[in-house]
Chains A and B, each alone.
Chain A
Amino acid sequence: MGVQNVQTPGRAGGAVVKPEMGLDKPNGIMHNATMLSRELVAASTVPLVLSILGEGETYGYALIQRVRELSGGRIEWTEGMLYPVLHWMEEAGQIKSEWRESDTGRKRKYYHLCREGREALQGEREQWLTVHQTLTRLWKTKHVSI
C-alpha cells in the first residue's frame, strides 16, 4: 500500500498514517509536464485544504473546484481521494465538519478550520515559503528559464 508517514506541524512525530492524495492514481493524468507530479499533489493537499478553509467554511466539491480554478487546472485531484484526507485532518483536530442542508435541499458536509488547523496552516506556510524562497534565490542567480 502506498502509505507514507508525513510530518505535519499539527501532529507531533508524524506517527499517524495519513492517506495520500492521488498516490494510487491509476491513470496517467499527472505525466503532463505542466501538471503537478503525484508527490507534489500529495504533499500540497493539506496546505491547500487548510488555506482554502482559512478563507471560510466550505464543502468537499466546492473545495476541489476552488483548487482547480486557482491552479488553472494544473492541480488535478482524483476527487474521491480528498475525503479520506479531510477525515484524517478532522481526526487530527485541524478541522471540524457538520452536515447541513444546502440551498439545493440536499444535505452537504461542511468543513471549517479549528484553532489547531490555524496553527498547522501557519507551520505549512513557513515551510512552503522556505522552499519557495530557496528555489527563487537559486534560480535568480543561475538565470534558469522555464
Chain B
Amino acid sequence: MADGASNPDQIMEDKTRFDLNTAVEHWLETLRRSPEIRAENLAELESHLRDSVAEWQRRGLGEEEAFVLAGHRLGGSMALRQEFAKINQSRVWLHRGLWMLVGIQAWALLGTLSHLGAAAVTVGGLASLGFKFREPNLYLSALGPASGLTLTYLAFLAACVTGAWWLVRRKETGLRNAADAVLHRPLWVGGFVLIPLGLLVLNFAQFPFLAFWFPRAEIGGIMASKSIASFAESVLLTVSLPLLTVFLARRYVASCRPRRANP
C-alpha cells in the first residue's frame, strides 16, 4: 500500500489552493483504512497534528509548510501502523479473521453459483441443440458433455472470482458502506444467511428438475457427465490452488527481504 501519510506533497499537487481541513482529512483517510489504528488513536493523532500545525504557524511558517512539517514529524503511515499494531493486536487479528471468513464463504457461494450456471448453460444448451445424453456406454459418451461442463464451470468461476476481486479493489468504500448498512438491519442479515442456503437448495433440487425435463434414459448420462466434470474440477483446483499459494507466498516473502545494493 502506498505510504500516503508520509508523502503530504502528493496530496497538495492537484490542489490549486491549500486547504488545511482537506489536507488533514486526506491524511486521516489513509490511516482510517488500517486495522492497526483504532478510531480513538486516530482522533488523538489528529489532535496532535492540528496542535503541531498551529505551533509551526505561530513560529512563522505558512499553513501548507506547517502541515507538511507537522506530518513529517508525526511519522509515516507505515511506521505508525507498525507501532500501533503492537497495542491493537486483537483488532488486527479480528480484521484478518473477518477477511478469512468472508473468503471462505465467498468461495463456497461462488462455487455453488458457478456449478449452477455451468450446468444450466451446458446441459440446457446441449439439450436444446438436440444432443442426447445416452445411457449405453455410459462413461465414454459422457466424456464430451463432461469436458463442456468443466470448461463452463471454470469460466463461470473465473468470472465470479474476477468480479469479486474487482469489487473489493475498486469499490472498497461502496462495499464498506453496504456492509455497514447490512450489519445494522436484522432483515438484511437474515438475507445474508438465507441466500447461500437458498443456492444450496437450488443446487440440490437439480435432480427433480432434471427428472421433470429429461427422459429417464438420459438422466443417467447427465449424472455421469456431472460426476466426471466434478472430479475433473476437483483435480484441477486441488493442483492449481496450492501452486497459486506457493507462487504468491514466494512473491510475498521476496518483498519482505530488504533490497541489496549489489545483487
Contacts and interface: CB of A to CB of B under 8 A. Distances in A.
Contacts of A25: 79
Q: Which 8 A-B pairs have the closest CB atoms?
A: A80-B75, A61-B51, A19-B86, A78-B75, A80-B74, A84-B83, A87-B87, A80-B80
Interface in B82-107: 82-87
A24 interface: yes
B73 A81 contact: no
Interface string B42-54: 0111011011101
Chief secondary structure at chain A's binding surface: mixed
B76 interface: yes
B206 interface: no
B227 interface: no
22 contacts: A1-B85, A1-B86, A18-B86, A19-B87, A24-B82, A59-B51, A60-B48, A61-B47, A61-B52, A79-B48, A79-B74, A80-B48, A80-B74, A80-B80, A80-B83, A81-B79, A83-B44, A83-B84, A84-B84, A84-B86, A106-B50, A109-B43
Nearest to B89: A17
B258 to A, nearest CB: 12
Contact of A3 (B41, B55, B76, B86): B86
B240 to A, nearest CB: 33
Given A1-B86, A19-B87, 13 more contacts: A19-B83, A24-B82, A24-B83, A59-B51, A60-B48, A78-B73, A78-B79, A79-B74, A79-B75, A80-B79, A83-B44, A107-B43, A107-B47
A132 to B, nearest CB: 29
A26 interface: yes
Interface of B: 41, 43-45, 47-48, 50-52, 54-55, 73-76, 79-80, 82-87
A24 B79 contact: yes
B52 A17 contact: no
